[in-house]
Structure 1
Amino acid sequence: MRVLVTRPQPAAEKTALKLEAMGHDAVVLPMMQAQHFAAAVRAGFERSHDAIGVTSAEAVRVLAGLGPALQPHLATPLFAVGAATARAATELGFTDIRVGTGTGEALAETVAGFLGPETGSLLYFAGLPRADGFEHALRERAIDHVTVECYRMNPVGHAPETLPALVQAGPFDAVLLYSRETARRLVALMREGGLDATGVSARYLCLSASVKEVLPVGATASVAAAPDEKSLLSLL
C-alpha cells in the first residue's frame, strides 16, 4: 500500500522505515515541526521537584538537548505517558521510569500512586499546543505540579500544489494521523489544493477519536485500539 506519513521529523522517518519493512510504500509529508526551548528546560530544573512528567517523545528530545547537564536528573523518577515515550527516556539514560497506559488522565492516576497532595511535586515538560487532560487530572487530585512549556509545534509551510502533485496518479491507500493539530493542518492543505478527503486517501488512520473528529465529512477513518503506533499500524 502507498501510505502518507504526516508526523513531524525525525519520527516520520522512523515510521517510514517500519512501513517499508512491512512491504508498504511510505511517503513522508510532515505537517508540523518542533521548536525547542532549551532555556525553559534549564530554568525548570532549577525548581524544587520530586519527579518528572512527560507526555510525548518530543519532550524527551528537548531534554536530550541539555547534554551532560541532564546527568544529575537521570535518577529522578520519570512518569511517561506510554511505551514509546518511556523507550525514548530509557535511551536517554533515565533509570527510574513509571509508564502510563497512553493517556494523560491515566498517567495522572499513575502519578497519584507516587505523589499525593502533600507528598511531593511534579515537573511536567510539555508542548504547545496540547490537550489539558493530564494537567486537569493532576489538579483534580490536588497534586502539586509545575508545567514547563519546552517546545512548540509549528505548521510546515507546504505550497498549495503539494498535495495535488502527490495524488496526481491516484489517492493514497492510507494516511497516518497522530494528532489533532496534524489533522487540522492536513485538512487545511486539502482545501488550499482544492481536494476533498476521498481525493487524497481511501482511508485515514487516527491515533485517537479526538484526531478523527477533525476530519471532514466523507472521510473514511479508523481509530487505533490503543493510542500507540503499534496499534495504529495494525489498522493497515
Structure 2
Amino acid sequence: MRVLVTRAEPNATRTAMKLREMGHEPVVLPLSQAIRAAGTAASALQNTSGPIAVTSAEALRVLCEIAPADRSWMSRVLYAVGPATAKAATELGFHTVFTGEGNAASLAERIVADVSARNRQAAPSHLLYLAGTPRTEGFEAVIAKAGIPVEICECYRMTAVVPDLATQQLSLITQSPQAVLCYSSESVRRLLQLPLLCERQEALAQALFCCMSDTVASTLPPRFRSHARIASTTSETELLTLLSG
C-alpha cells in the first residue's frame, strides 16, 4: 500500500523505514519543520530546579543542541509523553524518566497523581514544561486545575512547509497515496490546504485516513471522514496497525 507521510524530519524518515518493514511503500511529503531555540531552553533550565516535562521528542532535540558542559539538568526528573519520547530521553542521558500514556493530558494526570501521592510535600517549586507552538491546551489545563506551579518554555516552533507544485503532483497524483497517516489536526489542515489539493479535491477521495485520535479525525471534511480509521491509543504503533485492520 502506498502511504502518505507528512511528518517533519527526522520523524518522516523513521516512519518511512517502519512502513517499508511492514511491506508498504511510503510517500514522504513533510509539511512542517521545527525551528528550535536552544538558548531559550538553556536559560529556562538554568533558572529552574524542579522536574521537567516534554510532550514531544522535538523538545529533546532542542536539548541536544545545548553544549555538553551545560547539562547538569540531566539529573532532574523528566516526565515524557510516551514510550518513544521516554526512550529518547534515556538515550540523551536523563537518569530518572517517568512515562505517560502517549498524549499530553495523560502525562499531566500522571504528574498530578505523583504530586498527590506525596501529599504535595515534594511538589516542585516549578514544573518546567519544554513546549512547542502550536500545541493543544490539554497538558496545561490539567496542571493548572491541580494548582501545580508550572513554567512554560516555548523552545521550538513548528512552521508550515509548502512543497512546490511539481513535488505535490508527484506525491499526490502520480504516486496517488492509498492511505494517509494523520498524526495531528494541524497536519491534516496543512495537507488539505495544499494548492494542488484545493484544485484537485478528488485526489484523495479513495484514500484511507489513519488518525491518531477522534480529535484528529474530526478535522477531516465529511467526504474523507467516512474513510477514516482511528487508533485505539495515541501511539504510532497503534496508528500503523490501522493499515492492515
Question: How high is the TM-score relative to the length of structure 2?
Answer: 0.90
Secondary structure in 1 matching 2:194:
helix
One-letter amino acid of the structure 1 residue matched with residue 97 of structure 2: I
Structure-to-structure mapping, 1:78-227, within 5 angstroms: 78-115=78-115, 119-120=123-124, 121-169=126-174, 171-189=176-194, 193-196=198-201, 199=204, 202-219=207-224, 220-227=227-234
Pick closer, same or farther for the CA change 1:26–1:138 going to 2, 3 Å: same
Is the CA contact 2:192–2:198 (under 8 Å) kept in the aligned structure 1?
no
| RMSD (Å) for aligned C-alpha atoms | 1.9
- The answer for the alignment partner of 2:51 in structure 1 is 51
TM-superposed deviation, 1:68: 0.4
TM-superposed deviation, 1:193: 4.8
TM superposition outliers: structure 1 runs of 4+ over 4 Å: 190-193
Is the CA contact 2:132–2:155 (under 8 Å) kept in the aligned structure 1?
yes
One-letter amino acid of the structure 1 residue matched with residue 192 of structure 2: V
TM-superposed deviation, 1:204: 1.0
What CA distance in whole angstroms lies between the structure 2 residues aligned with 1:126 and 1:201? 36
One-letter amino acid of the structure 1 residue matched with residue 242 of structure 2: L
TM-superposed deviation, 1:145: 0.7
What CA distance in whole angstroms lies between the structure 2 residues aligned with 1:67 and 1:11? 23
For residues 41-81 of structure 1, the C-alpha deviation after alignment (integer angstroms, 9 at most, x for no partner) is 01101222310000001111111111304531112100011
**Segment of structure 1 superposing worse, 208-217 or 156-165:** 156-165
Aligned residues with identical type, % of pairs: 40
Is the CA contact 1:164–1:193 (under 8 Å) kept in the aligned structure 2?
no
Secondary structure in 1 matching 2:53:
strand
Is the CA contact 1:167–1:200 (under 8 Å) kept in the aligned structure 2?
no
- The answer for the alignment partner of 2:36 in structure 1 is 36
TM-superposed deviation, 1:182: 1.0
TM-superposed deviation, 1:163: 2.9
**Segment of structure 1 superposing worse, 157-166 or 97-106:** 157-166
- The answer for the alignment partner of 1:75 in structure 2 is 75
Is the CA contact 1:41–1:148 (under 8 Å) kept in the aligned structure 2?
yes
What CA distance in whole angstroms lies between the structure 2 residues aligned with 1:22 and 1:62? 31
TM-superposed deviation, 1:206: 1.1
TM-superposed deviation, 1:89: 0.6
One-letter amino acid of the structure 1 residue matched with residue 211 of structure 2: C
**Segment of structure 1 superposing worse, 66-75 or 94-103:** 66-75
Secondary structure in 2 matching 1:123:
strand
Secondary structure in 2 matching 1:176:
strand
What CA distance in whole angstroms lies between the structure 2 residues aligned with 1:98 and 1:131? 21
Secondary structure in 2 matching 1:95:
coil
Could you tell me which runs of 5 or more consecutive residues in structure 2 were left unpaired when the two chains were aligned: none
- The answer for the alignment partner of 2:19 in structure 1 is 19
